[in-house]
A and B are shown apart, each in its own frame.
Chain A
Amino acid sequence: MNDRQLFLRRLAAGLKGMPKSSIADIMADYDAHFEAGNAAGRSEADVATALGDPGRLARELRAEVGLRRWEDERSMAAALGVMVGVLGLAALDLFIVLPLLVGVVAALFSFFIVGVGMCLGGGVALPFALIAHFPGFAGDHLQAALLSLGFLSGGASVAAFCALFTIGLINLLARYGRTHYRLITARPSI
Chain B
Amino acid sequence: MDPNLVQFKKGVLELCVLALLSRSDSYGYDIASRLSDAIDMGEGTIYPLMRRMQKDELVSTYLVESSSGPPRKYYRLTDSGRRSLDVQKSAWNDFTHSVAAILDGQEKTR
Q: A-side interface residues toward B, CB under 8 Å?
A: 25-26, 28-30, 32-33, 35-37, 39-40, 47, 50-52, 54, 57, 60-61, 64, 68, 182-187, 189-190
Contacts and interface: CB of A to CB of B under 8 A. Distances in A.
B6 A190 contact: yes
Contacts of A187: 40-42
6 contacts: A35-B69, A40-B33, A52-B43, A52-B44, A57-B48, A190-B6
Interface in B40-81: 40-45, 47-52, 55, 68-70, 72-73
A178 to B, nearest CB: 10
Contacts, number: 89
A47 B28 CA distance: 13
Contact of B47 (A30, A50, A184): A30
A96 B69 CA distance: 48
8 shortest interchain CB distances as A-B pairs: A36-B29, A51-B44, A52-B42, A187-B42, A52-B44, A50-B43, A183-B45, A60-B48
Nearest to A65: B51
